[in-house]
Amino acid sequence: MTQAEHETNSWPGIAGRMALVTGASSGLGSHFAKVLAVQGAHVVAAARRIDRVEALCADLRDQGHQATPLALDVSSADAVAGALRGQVFDLVVNNAGVSHSCAALDLDADTLDQVIDTNVKGVFHVARATAAAMRDAGRGGSIVNIASILGSRVSGHVAAYAASKGAVLQLTRALALEWARHGIRVNALSPGYIETELNRDFFATDKGQALIGRVPQRRLGQPQDLDGALLLLLSDMGRFMTGVDIAVDGGHLVSSL
């Protein structure tokens, strides 16, 4: 969908709301921040590389949208509590995440810690801090955790990542159960292989092309392919949805075993 189409097709419950997007300094998070800003949300774009989220927000404001940068390290509970103190969000996209690629026998403890601290504890720290503020303000909200199809199936050399995304799916269900009484919905979005600046070179290699050949739709996803699921889960169109996971993967999860 083009930006013009987004502007003319607004999703209920997004415009005028406060939206937090973590990991907004690159890739999918940067894209999600733009999508929500174009839909009329006031976006707080968070990441550790503050220069990158400042540049993103300056661009968005130049285009007439509302956007504020925030320095945030999701892996530290104290840092999250400090950075989010006093702010109430209606919409939260828990997108910050790190990956790794090495055989499980070579996976060192520091890498394992980094993946779990960011992908699992980070999602929890941000979800808990934002949900507590929603509850205290008495106004509910919608949280979307960005998981992965590797949370449901496995592949080689991504043991910690796959385990972390599986944990995100279970965390999503557990939080949805506990927080429905506060009007807070918690859902997951599991992308398949989506082309970003970080993986573009890999997917051009023979190995990358072979991987694309195993996707039933025979192509990589583009960040825009995630917009429908993201907006459905965040907006009032998804008001009776909580605790679910939507995979957007060109059929990769149902590929032949």
Binding letters toward ligand NAP, positions 124-153, x by CB under 6 A: ----------------------x-x-----
Minimum distance between the CB of residue 198 and ligand NAP, rounded to whole angstroms? Answer: 5
CB 43 within 8 A of CB 22: no
Binding letters toward ligand NAP, positions 79-108, x by CB under 6 A: ----------------xxxxx---------
CB 187 within 8 A of CB 152: no
Q: Is 72 an interacting residue with respect to ligand NAP (CB under 6 A)?
A: yes
Secondary structure letter of residue 25 according to DSSP: T
List 11, 124, 161, 179, catalytic entry: 161
Q: How far is CA 186 from CA 56, 72, 236, in A?
A: 26, 21, 13
Which residue lies nearer to ligand NAP by CB, 71 or 232?
A: 71
Q: Count the site residues for ligand NAP by CB under 6 A.
A: 28
CB 160 within 8 A of CB 114: no
The reply to whether 193 belongs to the active site is no
Which of 6, 19, 22, 129 binds ligand NAP (CB under 6 A)? It is 22
Closest by CA position to 232, among listed 28, 27, 9: 9
> Helices marked H in the chain — which ranges?
3-8, 27-38, 50-62, 77-84, 109-116, 122-137, 159-179, 200-204, 206-213, 227-234
Minimum distance between the CB of residue 8 and ligand NAP, rounded to whole angstroms? Answer: 27
For 31, the token pair is: 């894209």
Minimum distance between the CB of residue 148 and ligand NAP, rounded to whole angstroms? Answer: 4
Which residue lies nearer to ligand NAP by CB, 90 or 249?
A: 249
Q: Which residue has the tokens 């082309």?
A: 195
Which residue lies nearer to ligand NAP by CB, 48 or 128?
A: 48
DSSP of 170-184: HHHHHHHHHHGGGTE
Q: Is 28 an interacting residue with respect to ligand NAP (CB under 6 A)?
A: yes
- CA dist., res. 165 & res. 153, Å (int): 10
Q: Which residue has the tokens 């944990």?
A: 167
Q: Is 245 an interacting residue with respect to ligand NAP (CB under 6 A)?
A: no
Through-space distance between the first and last CA atoms of the chain, rounded to whole angstroms = 33
Closest by CA position to 65, among listed 56, 74, 73: 56
Q: Is 229 an interacting residue with respect to ligand NAP (CB under 6 A)?
A: no
CB 45 within 8 A of CB 24: yes
Binding letters toward ligand NAP, positions 180-219, x by CB under 6 A: -----------x-xx-x-x---------------------
Which residue lies nearer to ligand NAP by CB, 49 or 214?
A: 49
Minimum distance between the CB of residue 71 and ligand NAP, rounded to whole angstroms? Answer: 9
Which positions touch ligand NAP (CB under 6 A)?
Answer: 22-23, 25-29, 47-49, 72-75, 95-99, 118, 122, 146, 148, 191, 193-194, 196, 198
- Residues with catalytic function: 161
